[in-house]
A and B are shown apart, each in its own frame.
Chain A
Amino acid sequence: MASEPIHKTSCTEIEATLLEYLDGRAGPAERRRLEEHLSACAACRTRAEEFRVISDWLEDLPEISPSPAFDARLRVRIAAEPARISFWRWLPSPRLAFATAALIALSVWLSSMPGVVMDRSAVAQQAVHAEIEHKIPAAADADFRMIRDLPVLENYDVLSKFDALSELPEPPLNAAPQGERIAR
């Protein structure tokens, strides 16, 4: 039966765990490995003893106490800090806060609704749509619907070619040539 190879721990390998061992925090396997090495290595044994002495001396260093004015000075500095201001502090009452929140929510809702137009040109377009739909014969309705929503209603040249719009006045004499009028 072959015997297991004995791994000898080197001095470098115990560096990482020597202090842990001196602190009493090394696990059982690690402790055994270290003690095995220390029993065989005089240099590391001396190092471990001196580390322990230094550690004990560090514990004996005297402590200092904060000065009697420490707390008072800190309180003065904290009192000088700017106060935390909440947004809602600007509102004098809960009713006003609720009203403000409701107004903001209503504005957001109104602006997000589709088809809600806010300018005169859009309102005028809708009125023209309604009139045109009333006058277009049923036969040409399908064609017209294709371009109904296009911004061509401001292009006189396009409009004048529709038969249903024969009631439109003649173009003014100084009108721009065809193609130069651009729908807004």
Chain B
Amino acid sequence: MEAMARTDVQLMLDVKAGDERSFELLLRKYRTPLVNFLYRMVRDSGIAEDLAQEVFLRVYRARNQYVPSAKFTTWMFRIATNVALNSVRDNRYSKLSVSIDQTVEDGEQEQKVMELRDPSPIVEQELLARGRSEIIMRAIQSLPEKQRAAVLLHKYQEMDYGEIARILECSESALKSLLFRAYETLRVELAPLVGAMKA
């Protein structure tokens, strides 16, 4: 007898009923997309893995209360987005605790612990030194968190606007506006790269 492939919702309902193997199947299916989404949000592979584990743990803990009111991916990525946004905000606040005037001894010279980055667009000399992917990753990092999440969900998870709006808890029109502003920001950040391509 040919076995029917179970949907994500059915797998999660089976997890709710106590089937641990169904949880393994969901883990295998979504660990890579989840880790990559979180990596592109926080730009640190170690933190991305920790956050992905946290997402799967929350999915597991919530199994008894799971009600399939939306797609499984909508529910899971909403958890992932919240976890990522909290991490980004916590990380930003912890960085502020380091004084910009703090120095450390490095041989005969004093070095500053933290150098403030020049917020101006990437200069052409830098383009020669770095790969395009690195530059694009930096540009994504420069986006406000919600715009960043909108771009990543739109581009990499192949979700429709309705689903992304439900994840980000906004209207579809607000989401489209968010995406437009995000691409406008990327267009400004990547202007030298785009210019180099056109030349």
Point out residues on A near B: beta carbons under 8 Å: 15-20, 25, 47, 50-51, 53-55, 57-67, 70-71, 73-74, 77-78, 81, 84
Question: B132 to A77, Cβ gap below 8 A?
Answer: no
Which one, A18, A19, A66, A81, contacts B35 given CB within 8 A?
A: A66
Q: How far is the CB of B52 from chain A (nearest CB, A)?
A: 7
A66 surroundings in chain B (CB, below 8 A): 31-32, 35, 49, 52
Which one, A20, A63, A73, contacts B176 given CB within 8 A?
A: A20
Q: CB-defined interface of B34-57 with A at 8 Å, one 1/0 digit per residue? A: 011001100001001100110011
Which one, A51, A53, A64, A81, contacts B60 given CB within 8 A?
A: A81
B136 surroundings in chain A (CB, below 8 A): 57-58, 61
Q: Which of B73-81, B97-105, B122-130, B183-191 contacts A (4 or more CB under 8 A)?
A: B183-191
- The 28 sampled A-B contact pairs (Cβ below 8 Å) are A15-B176, A16-B176, A19-B154, A19-B183, A20-B176, A25-B160, A51-B183, A54-B183, A54-B186, A54-B187, A54-B190, A55-B155, A60-B133, A61-B40, A61-B136, A62-B133, A63-B32, A64-B35, A64-B36, A64-B45, A65-B35, A66-B32, A66-B49, A66-B52, A70-B31, A71-B27, A74-B56, A84-B64
A16 surroundings in chain B (CB, below 8 A): 173, 176-177, 180
- Bound-state Cα–Cα, A59 to B140, Å: 13
- Bound-state Cα–Cα, A16 to B133, Å: 28
